[in-house]
Amino acid sequence: MPEGIILPIFIHLIILNKFIFTITFSKLHPILLAILAGTTLFFIACNKDNDPNDNKSQLNLEITDGPTEDPNVKAVFITVAEAKVDGQTFSGFSGKKTIDLLAYQQGNVAALGLGDIDAGTYQNITLVLDAQTDASGTAQGCYVQTFDNVKHPLSSIATHEITAAQTFVVGSGAKTNLVLDFDLRKAVQYQVGGNSDHYDFVGSADLQTALRLVIKNETGSLNGTCQNGIVNADKVVAYMYKKGTFNRAIEIQSNNGVSFKNAVASTALGSTGEFKVAFLKSGDYEIHFAAYKDLNSDDKLDFLGTLILNSTVDLNDLRLAASTNLQLNVTVIGILP
């Protein structure tokens, strides 16, 4: 073999997620050495840049619901046509989804989408609702279904955009889990009138307050029981407030058909008094219970009052930490009309 040409050249190619070239040589022409070195570095760099597993960040988006206080409501459907992150379409959301929100309460969630996203800091999530047609193309898109199986369309406007503001950080190569809490109690109002449609979305500004965004692993929950052998009520609802923010005189007033408007979250008590409030940011809270009953036989619940409770802990000073579950047991000893 002529002088200046490679004498023994041994090239090993190992495939282990990446291409690694090991070149052993005893004598190499300088020009050929430069070409081989550059080519090797090029392939390694290209392979690194194109590896889908390097620095891949993901966003997982879910939705849950707060209760409605109307005993006639069987289901509340919304149709999500699009999800946006800081105003940009979220690629993880694929296709329209029609969801019965009442099926996802007390910590249960419905999936909205899982997809890739650039690492960085974000400010909000927006849901685009199609009020006209559901995921199958059938009318209506957003509606209340009562127990007589009548559909009550929630809006005559084609689409609604609802934005929940909450800063969150997506780390490089990390998966971020977010939950949207859609509070039906704040979002839907009962309309008195002669026509068959008795339910509508609240006004646009109020509708924005019905959606709350939380970072899932930064939240805790409250579980408990409320023993009631005194107050004859059709329904009891527990309302969570940030500590020091509850003003009874204001909160019991109805505003567009919504009372206890400034509650962070709420939940209806079960048949044996059990309750759970999920996805609460870590912090200090207070809890208040209100009783309702249909006093006029009009199939609509009337406010009876707030419950007076006996508890071993201060109900106006509840501390919740992330990823913890606080247990609370109370007993009804009276009612304040």
Q: How confident is the model at residue 30 (pLDDT cuts 50, 70, 90)?
A: low
The highest-confidence range among 18-22, 76-80, 257-261, by mean pLDDT, is 76-80
Is 136 a domain residue? yes
Do 218 and 297 have their domain in common?
yes
Do 141 and 31 have their domain in common?
no
Specify the pLDDT at position 40: 46
Is residue 42 pLDDT above 70, yes or no? no
Rounded Cα distance between 163 and 34, Å, is 56
Q: Which of 28-32, 85-89, 109-113, 212-216 is predicted least confidently?
A: 28-32
Is 4 a domain residue? no
Do 91 and 155 have their domain in common?
yes
Do 30 and 169 have their domain in common?
no
Is residue 70 pLDDT above 50, yes or no? yes
Specify the pLDDT at position 194: 58
Rounded Cα distance between 84 and 87, Å, is 5
Rounded Cα distance between 281 and 263, Å, is 13
Q: How confident is the model at residue 336 (pLDDT cuts 50, 70, 90)?
A: very high
pLDDT more than 90, % of the chain: 74
Specify the pLDDT at position 11: 35
Is 70 a domain residue? yes
Q: Give the residue numbers spanning the domain of 90.
A: 58-336
C-alpha closest to that of 299 among 153, 187, 146: 146
Specify the pLDDT at position 27: 46
Do 146 and 263 have their domain in common?
yes
Top-confidence residue, 10 or 101: 101
Is 285 a domain residue? yes
Query: Looking at the 3D structure of the chain, how many domains does it have?
Result: 2
Mean pLDDT of 228-236: 96
Is residue 299 pLDDT above 90, yes or no? no
Do 252 and 328 have their domain in common?
yes
- The model carries a pTM of 0.82
Specify the pLDDT at position 47: 46
Instruction: Please give the full DSSP string across 85-143, using - where no structure is assigned.
Output: ETTEE-TT--S-EEEEGGGS-TT--EEEEEEE--SEEEEEEEEEEESS--TTSPSPSSE
Top-confidence residue, 300 or 291: 291
Do 249 and 305 have their domain in common?
yes
Is residue 202 pLDDT above 90, yes or no? yes
- For the chain, the first-to-last Cα distance in angstroms comes to 105
What does pLDDT average to over the chain? 86
Is 129 a domain residue? yes
pLDDT more than 70, % of the chain: 83
Is 168 a domain residue? yes
Do 14 and 43 have their domain in common?
yes
Do 170 and 280 have their domain in common?
yes
Do 324 and 263 have their domain in common?
yes
Mean pLDDT of 148-169: 96
Q: Which residues lie below 8 Å from residue 180, measured CB to CB, with a gap of 6+?
A: 61, 62, 63, 64, 112, 125, 127, 164, 211, 212, 213
CB-CB contact of 187 with 77 (8 Å): no
Is 300 a domain residue? yes
Domain boundary among 17, 33, 50: 50
Is residue 26 pLDDT above 90, yes or no? no
Do 100 and 42 have their domain in common?
no
Do 256 and 201 have their domain in common?
yes
Is 319 a domain residue? yes
